[in-house]
Chains A and B, each alone.
Chain A
Amino acid sequence: MLEVKHLEKSYQKDKPALTDISFSVEPGTFVAIIGPSGAGKTTILRSLNQLIKDDGGQILLDGGDLRTANKTQLRNYRRQIGMVFQNYNLVERLTVIENVLHGRLGYKSTLAGMFGRYTNEEKQEAMTLLQKVGLEDFALQRCSELSGGQKQRVGIARSLIQHPKVILCDEPIASLDPASSQTVMQLLKDLTTEFNIICIANLHQIGLAKDYADRIIGIRQGKMVFNEESDALSEKILETLYDQNVTEELN
């Protein structure tokens, strides 16, 4: 279980980016975080694996606090938390399977990882996961030769091979066309159930958030204004969340 308690962050003095964010998520839940640009969605997500050092609160993964972890402990936490990026953040020059195997680095000795020495089991698993995301035929292709949707699925496979308890997705479909967006969202939803993990995705597409997420968290100016089942998200709440009519987007 992931519990976030009273998370605080300000990049500049007296200009809080996050104030008192608290929520908890059970395994097997797909959570969408929505809110206007600059609300603080990325800041929340990056605090969860401490790519951003926040200013206060607690982040508990199965009871252990990430925020007070030392370097080795943090590495152990990070390998249990996958991350999927808007721009995929793959090593474009390397092959698909090499990029997937990067997800194992957190488990390997520094030297074995530096020179990319993976075990046969790891390679087998990478292939199995590529099959799962529908890219088994692309294993030896360079990532630079893939389409956006395919790259994002490589990114998802990379996070899955970490055997994560949590997957964090920062606008995973913002650079994709509608069809690939549906594929990626469906994939994330299915994987959440199949592996019984927590998936948290920042989204700008409210329609997709309602369709795929179990729960929706609404953020506005660094504050949490909504945290309920997706069905409870009404137009009234959306209006206060975005300040103007976003209802068109829903249809």
Chain B
Amino acid sequence: MQTPVNYLARKHWKQTGTIALIGSIYLLSSWILKFDGLTGIVAIPKAFSWLGINFKPTANSIHFLPTIWQKLIGTVLLAIASTVVASFIAIFVALIGAKATGGNALVQTVVRGIASFFRNIPLVAWAMILLFSFKQSDFTGFLALLLMSVGYLIRAFMEIIEDEASETMLALKATGASYFQVIFQAVLPQIMPSLISWILYMIENNVRDATLVGILTGTGIGFVFDIYYKSFRFDAAGMTVLSIIVVVIVLEVLSNQIRKVIL
């Protein structure tokens, strides 16, 4: 019989068991990979001090700054452009796919499937695939970021519509409003803050990812970093990383500020 006492006792044993299980999975996998966690951890301070010495920008690195910032701004704009286009596509698709606003169960499943497909192919894989058709260009990076963002945003927007708009939709439907009136007067105004919040998050994310994609597509700030790194100009590479960090932090502060105002 299930009494509260033996229910709690069983729950306690389950928790202990789960922790033990996770521990043994870690030990087993380190043994298979011949991976020594402890040596790794011990090496961390040394690795960082090496980084600190070699990647430290010097007074000499200053004259790389114009090139770095020019490319960096280009990369940020690329990330913004891809996110904005992705958002427009995603909101239309999400309206079609969401249960409250969209088609039948089949349409929903298809839209979910498409979103999941675009989302689950890693960004690097998208970039490699697109390189075949579009060569090393900004457009390749733009498209790779766009496709992945579309996947994420469709999914997010569909959930937002379900959670935040279903009830108001019902109220407007009951007044005799037509489909497009309901979408424009109830759904879009209602979900706008969450929508913008997600778009800002996606822009932040895409600025970071654009750097990575740039290494592959030979464009933007990623390319600059790659060149400096491979030609052993570590101080310039360090300067590039520092600039990226500054931009990412500034963007994050900025978008948090925007969120505060709109929410």
Contacts and interface: CB of A to CB of B under 8 A. Distances in A.
A51 B176 contact: no
A115 B181 CA distance: 8
B182 to A, nearest CB: 8
Given A87-B167, A93-B190, A106 B175 contact: yes
Contacts of B178: 75, 105, 110, 113
Interface in B50-108: none
B190 A105 contact: no
A116 B185 contact: yes
Contacts of B171: 83, 85, 89-90, 102, 155, 158
A51 B173 contact: yes
A91 B180 contact: no
Contacts of A162: 175-176
B110 interface: no
A93 B175 contact: no
B168 interface: yes
B258 interface: no
Nearest to A81: B174
A69 to B, nearest CB: 12
A93 B189 contact: yes
Interface string B176-196: 111011011110011011000
Given A91-B190, A93-B192, A105 B181 contact: yes
Interface string A34-50: 00000000000000010
Given A85-B167, A115-B184, A94 B174 contact: no
Contacts of B174: 49, 51, 78, 81-83
Interface residues of A, number: 33
Contacts of A85: 167, 170-171
A92 interface: yes
B185 A78 contact: no
A245 B181 CA distance: 47
Contacts of A78: 173-176
Contacts of B176: 75-79, 105-107, 162
Given A85-B167, A114-B185, A116-B185, A93 B177 contact: no
Nearest to A162: B175
A76 B176 CA distance: 7
A114 B190 contact: no
A102 B185 contact: yes
Nearest to A155: B171
B227 interface: no
B172 interface: yes
A183 B177 CA distance: 29
A187 to B, nearest CB: 18
A103 B177 CA distance: 8
A110 to B, nearest CB: 5
Nearest to A50: B174
Contacts of A103: 175
A102 B184 contact: no
Interface in A119-142: none
Contacts of B172: 102, 105
A115 B180 CA distance: 10
A105 B177 contact: yes
Contacts of B167: 85, 87, 89
Given A85-B167, A91-B189, A91-B190, A158 B175 contact: yes
B185 A91 contact: yes
Nearest to B193: A93
A82 B189 contact: no
Contact of B185 (A51, A107, A113): A113
B167 to A, nearest CB: 5
A111 to B, nearest CB: 8
A171 to B, nearest CB: 14
Interface string A58-80: 00000000000000000111110
Interface of B: 167-168, 170-178, 180-181, 183-186, 189-190, 192-193
13 contacts: A49-B174, A77-B176, A78-B176, A83-B171, A94-B189, A103-B175, A105-B172, A105-B185, A113-B184, A114-B180, A116-B184, A116-B185, A162-B176
Interface of A: 49, 51, 75-79, 81-83, 85, 87, 89-94, 102-103, 105-108, 110, 113-116, 155, 158-159, 162
Q: Closest 4 CB pairs between A and B?
A: A106-B176, A79-B176, A89-B171, A105-B177
Given A105-B177, A114-B185, 14 more contacts: A75-B178, A78-B174, A78-B176, A83-B175, A85-B170, A91-B168, A91-B185, A93-B190, A102-B171, A105-B176, A110-B178, A110-B180, A113-B181, A113-B184
